[in-house]
C-alpha cells in the first residue's frame, strides 16, 4: 500500500501500459482516474476489475490534445476526490508510415497527443500540486526518444518522445521543489501497439536486447510505482529506462 490515500490520473488508461499502471496503483492504495478517449468499454471494464479487487476509481472521457477536455478531466477529478497527487502522462499514438509516406495529419496527431497532451495535463495539475506543496508527474516516453538507431523507426513518434524527454527535464526544473517530474522510457513492451509486426523484426529486437525477451506492461507499472512513491522523493528530472538493456546508455 505504498500509494495509500493518493489520487492518480492515468491518461490513456483503458489498455496496455496505462491499464497495467491503473491496476497496480489501485492495488497500492491509490484512487485512480481512468482516462480514455475512444475505448469506453475497456475503460469501464477496467474500473469494474479495480472495484471488484477492493480499489476505488472513476472513468473520464477526454482527448488530452484538447485543452477544454483536459480542464474537464482535472475538474472531474477534483470534484470526486478533492486533490491530485500523481499524474501519469501515458496517452499516446503511433503511426507506422515511413517519413516519406506520412502526411501532415500524421505529424499533427502524433505531436498533439504524445507531446502537447503531456504538456496540457501537466500544466493543468501543476497549480493544484503546488498548492498542496507535493505532487508527482510521470511521463511515459520511449527509448526511441533517446538515441538508439533500430528503435528510431517512425520519425513523428521519435520526435514526440524526444520532446517528452525534454519536457520532463524542463518541468523538473520549473516545478521543484514541491513537484517531482520523471519519465519512464519503455523498450519493446508486449502491448497492442506492437501487435502485427513482422516476426523477423520481433526476433531482431529480441536479439539486440541483453535480457533476450520483450517487456510486459506490469514491468513498466513497477517502475511507475517507485517513481510515484515516497521512495523516489529525491529523484527528479530523470529518464528511467525499462528496456531489458536495449539501447542502454
pLDDT at 175: 98
pTM for the full model?
Answer: 0.95
Locate 147 and state its grid cell: 538515441
**Does CATH place domain 7-242 in 3.40.1160.10?**
no
Which among 36, 119, 157, 178 is annotated as catalytic?
Answer: 157
Cell of 71: 480542464
Instruction: Please tell me the predicted confidence (pLDDT) of residue 204.
Output: 86
pLDDT at 196: 66
β partners of residue 242: 186
Q: Is 157 a catalytic residue?
A: yes
Beta-strand relationship, 57-61 and 31-36: parallel
Q: Are 1 and 65 in contact (CB under 8 A)?
A: no
Q: Which pLDDT score, from 0 to 100, does residue 202 have?
A: 80
Q: CB under 8 Å, gap of 24 or more: what pairs does 115-120 form?
A: 115/160, 115/163, 115/164, 115/167, 116/65, 117/11, 117/64, 117/65, 117/70, 117/89, 117/91, 118/64, 118/89, 118/164, 118/167, 119/167, 120/64, 120/65, 120/67, 120/70
Domain definitions of the chain by residue range: 7-242
**pLDDT < 50 regions, the chain:** none
Amino acid at each position: 500500500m505504498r500509494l495509500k490515500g493518493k489520487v492518480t490520473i492515468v491518461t490513456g488508461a483503458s489498455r496496455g501500459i496505462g491499464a497495467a499502471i491503473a491496476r497496480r496503483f489501485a492495488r497500492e492504495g491509490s484512487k485512480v482516474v481512468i482516462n480514455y478517449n475512444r475505448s469506453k468499454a475497456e475503460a469501464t471494464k477496467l474500473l469494474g476489475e479495480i472495484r471488484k479487487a477492493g480499489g476505488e476509481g472513476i472513468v473520464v472521457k477526454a482527448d488530452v490534445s484538447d485543452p477544454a477536455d483536459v480542464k474537464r478531466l482535472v475538474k472531474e477529478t477534483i470534484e470526486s476526490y478533492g486533490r491530485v497527487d500523481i499524474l501519469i502522462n501515458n496517452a499516446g499514438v503511433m503511426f507506422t508510415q515511413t517519413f516519406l509516406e506520412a502526411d501532415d495529419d500524421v505529424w499533427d496527431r502524433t505531436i498533439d497527443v504524445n507531446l502537447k497532451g503531456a504538456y496540457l495535463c501537466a500544466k493543468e495539475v501543476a497549480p493544484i500540486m503546488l498548492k498542496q506543496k507535493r505532487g508527482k508527474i510521470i511521463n511515459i516516453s520511449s527509448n526511441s526518444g533517446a538515441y538508439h538507431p533500430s528503435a528510431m523507426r517512425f520519425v513523428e513518434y521519435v520526435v514526440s518522445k524526444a520532446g517528452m524527454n525534454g519536457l520532463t527535464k524542463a518541468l523538473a526544473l520549473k516545478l521543484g521543489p514541491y513537484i517531482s517530474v520523471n519519465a519512464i522510457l519503455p523498450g519493446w513492451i508486449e502491448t497492442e501497439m506492437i501487435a502485427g509486426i513482422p516476426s523477423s523484426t520481433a526476433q531482431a529486437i529480441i536479439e539486440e536486447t541483453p535480457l533476450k525477451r520483450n517487456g510486459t506492461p506490469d514491468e513498466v507499472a513497477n517502475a511507475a510505482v517507485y517513481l510515484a512513491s515516497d521512495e523516489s522523493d529525491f529523484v527528479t528530472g530523470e529518464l528511467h529506462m525499462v528496456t531489458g538493456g536495449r539501447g542502454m546508455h
